[in-house]
Amino acid sequence: IVMTQSPATLSVSPGERATLSCRASQSVGSNFAWYQQKPGQAPRLLIYDASIRATGIPARFSGSGSGTEFTLTISSLQSEDFAVYYCHQYNDWPRTFGHGTRVEI
Amino acid sequence: EVQLMESGGGLIQSGGSLRLSCVGSGFTFSSHAISWVRQGPGKWLEWLAYISGTGKTEHYEDSVRGRFTISRDNSKNTLYLQMNSLRVEDTAVYFCARSPYRDGWFGDYWGQGALVTVSS
C-alpha cells in the first residue's frame, strides 16, 4: 500500500493552523497513524486508529479520516511542532509509511 | 518508563554481516510485538521486519527477506536483527519499535536508533 503525503513542505507561522494530508493507494480502514520526527530523534507516535491521540500528546493535534484519505491538523502551531510528520498504515503487510511532510517556519 | 535501546551498529563492508540488538525495559517484553524500521540518510521511514510477542510470527519487507532475520529472546528482553549480505543501500539508522499489542504492529515506543554504514 503506497502512502502519499501532501504537501512535501508546509510553511506556517507560529500560532497558525496546519493541515497535513495523506492518501493510501487502497483502503486501510482506520488502521492508520501519524508520527512526528525531529532531527536526530526517533519518531514519536502522535495519532493511532486514525483519530486517537497517543499518551501525552497535546489536544492541538487531531487526526481524522478513514479508508484512503486522512488528515492531521495542528490547531495552533507551537515552536516545538516544527518537524517532519509521517503517515503510516498498519492494515496490511508490508507496513508502509509516507515520505513525510516537513512543517517549517 | 518504557525504554528501547539499540546496539551493534557500525561500519561494515559490502557483503558483510552484522547483528543488531534492542533491549527493552519498563514493560513486559513478551507481551509486545516489535519491528525493525530503518531510515536512510535524509530519507523517510522504511519498515523492515516484524516479530510477534511470542516469536512465532514473522513478516519481512521484500528487499530484506532472505538476507535479514528477526528474532527475540524474551528471557533477556532482547530483540535481534541478523543482517547478512549487506549492501551499500542498507546504510541507515535502524530503529526498533514496540507495538502496543502482542500481535500486529504499529510503533508506540521507539528506540533512539543504531547507525549502520555499509561501505563499498
pLDDT, tens only, A44-91: 999 999 999 999 999 999 999 999 999 999 999 999 999 999 999 999
Which stretch of B33-37, B48-52, B86-90, B103-107 has the lowest confidence by average pLDDT? Answer: B103-107
| Chain B residues bordering chain A (beta-carbon distance below 8 Å) | 35, 44-47, 50, 59-62, 95, 97, 104-113
Alpha carbons within 13 angstroms on the beta-carbon side of residue B54 total 3
| A25: phi then psi, degrees, rounded to nearest 5 | -70, -15
Cis bond before residue A39 (omega within 30° of 0):
no
Secondary structure (3-state) at B78: strand
Question: Could you tell me what percent of chain A has a pLDDT over 90?
Answer: 99
**How far is residue A101's CA from residue A99's CA, in Å, rounded to a whole number?**
7
Contacting residues of A for B62, CB less than 8 Å apart: 94
Question: Could you tell me what percent of chain A has a pLDDT over 70?
Answer: 100
B107-120 average pLDDT score: 97
**pLDDT category of residue A11 using cuts at 50, 70 and 90:** very high
B41-67 average pLDDT score: 97
Measure the N-to-C terminal CA separation of chain A; round to a whole number of Å: 31
**pLDDT category of residue B69 using cuts at 50, 70 and 90:** very high
Shortest CA distance from A53: residue in chain B = B108
**pLDDT category of residue B81 using cuts at 50, 70 and 90:** very high
**Interface size between A and B, measured as CB pairs under 8 A:** 53
Query: Mapped to the 3 state alphabet, what secondary structure does A23-54 carry?
Result: EECCCCCCCEEEEEECCCCCCEEEEECCCEEC
In this complex, the residue of B44, B59, B108 whose CB is nearest that of residue A54 is B108
Q: What is the pLDDT of residue A17?
A: 97
Is the pLDDT reported for residue A27 higher than 90?
yes
Contacting residues of B for A93, CB less than 8 Å apart: 50, 59
Edge to edge, the sheet with strand B68-73 lists B3-7, B18-25, B78-83, B68-73
Computed over every residue of chain B, the mean pLDDT equals 97
Contact A105, A13 (CB under 8 A): yes
**How far is residue A87's CA from residue B92's CA, in Å, rounded to a whole number?**
20
Secondary structure (3-state) at B21: strand
Contact between chains at A42 and B112 (C-beta distance less than 8 A)? yes
Neighbours of B14 (CB within 10 A): 14
Contact between chains at B108 and A98 (C-beta distance less than 8 A)? no
DSSP bridge pairs for A51: none
**How far is residue B43's CA from residue B41's CA, in Å, rounded to a whole number?**
5
Contact A96, A2 (CB under 8 A): yes
Neighbours of B41 (CB within 10 A): 9
Contacting residues of A for B104, CB less than 8 Å apart: 90
Is the pLDDT reported for residue A105 higher than 90?
no
Q: What is the pLDDT of residue B79?
A: 98
Alpha carbons within 13 angstroms on the beta-carbon side of residue A37 total 29
